Structure 1
Amino acid sequence: MNALDYFNARLQATVSPMDYMRGKQMEPEKYFLIDVRNGPVHVRSVTIKDAHVLPEQELLDRLNEIPKDKEIIVYCWDVWCNTAAKVAKVLLEQGYKVKELTGGIAAWQEMNFPVSDTTNMENTPDNCGC
């Protein structure tokens, strides 16, 4: 793979926080945003506003919650986390149209984009699974 092929593939598989915000404003019904982070609830109590919380370790049991007619955007912690990439691969294999939000929630918060507090979320296992 040459550099051009790499960057074309990367742009097809990812979306920046700014591009996601712009796209969501233009076509609000086009996207389905999923927070796929694993780990203790108290650590992931802040999530991107309007994201659907579906930890990676629950994915296969909850596929019925993910619409096939929308573009799925997945995110995890940061650029060092590969959980979103793992989930994107599984969803692509299941026939979904998927992109990873670059930089995860860390990039989102760095840009001061809207977040929600999910402190009252139900308990899930505390292991990361990254």
Structure 2
Amino acid sequence: MNALDYFNARLEATISPMDYLRLAQVNPEKYFLIDVRNGPEHVRILTIKDANIIPQQELQERLHEIPKEKEIVVYCWDVWCNTAAKVAAFLLERGYKVKELTGGIAAWKEMNFPVSDVAQDANLSDNCGC
């Protein structure tokens, strides 16, 4: 693969936070954004606003929640995390149109783009009730 092929493939497989925000504002019905991060809930409290939360470890049993007619955008923690890439490959193998959000939630937060506090939005408590 030469450099041009590499960069064209990369552009086809990814979307920047700026591009996603702009495109989703213009045509929100076109996209289905998924937070695929694994890990304890308390470290996944902040999520991109309006993202669907389907951790990679739950993907197989929740596949029916992902619409085939939309463009799927997946994200994980940051540029070092490959969870979103694994999910993208899994979904592509099943006929979905998928892009990875570059930089994950770390890049999104760095740009001060809108986030949601899952605990606050769901009125969750840190109290386990024990």
Equivalent residue, structure 2, for 1:77: 77
Equivalent residue, structure 1, for 2:47: 47
Q: Which amino acid aligns with 2:6?
A: Y
> In the alignment, is the contact (CA less than 8 A) between 1:41 and 1:121 conserved in 2?
no
TM-score w.r.t. the length of structure 1 is: 0.92
SS in structure 1 opposite 2:20? helix
Using the TM superposition, give the Cα deviation of residue 121 of structure 1 relative to its aligned residue in structure 2, in angstroms.
8.6
Equivalent residue, structure 2, for 1:96: 96
Aligned counterparts of 1:21 and 1:34: Cα–Cα separation in 2 = 14
Residue identity (%): 77
What runs of 5+ residues in structure 1 fail to find an aligned partner? 123-130
Q: Which amino acid aligns with 1:66?
A: I
Indicate how the Cα distance of structure 1 residues 121 and 83 shifts in structure 2: closer, same or farther if over 3 A, else same: farther
Aligned counterparts of 2:90 and 2:63: Cα–Cα separation in 1 = 10
1:26 aligns with 2:18: no
What runs of 5+ residues in structure 2 fail to find an aligned partner? 125-130
Runs of 4+ in structure 1 off by over 6 angstroms are none
Aligned counterparts of 1:25 and 1:40: Cα–Cα separation in 2 = 30
Higher Cα radius of gyration: 2
SS in structure 2 opposite 1:100? strand
Q: Which amino acid aligns with 1:80?
A: W
> Number of paired residues?
122
Aligned counterparts of 2:29 and 2:23: Cα–Cα separation in 1 = 10
Higher relative contact order (CA 8 A, sep 6+): 1
Structure (1/2) with the larger helix percentage:
2
Equivalent residue, structure 2, for 1:11: 11
1:35 aligns with 2:29: no
TM-score w.r.t. the length of structure 2 is: 0.92
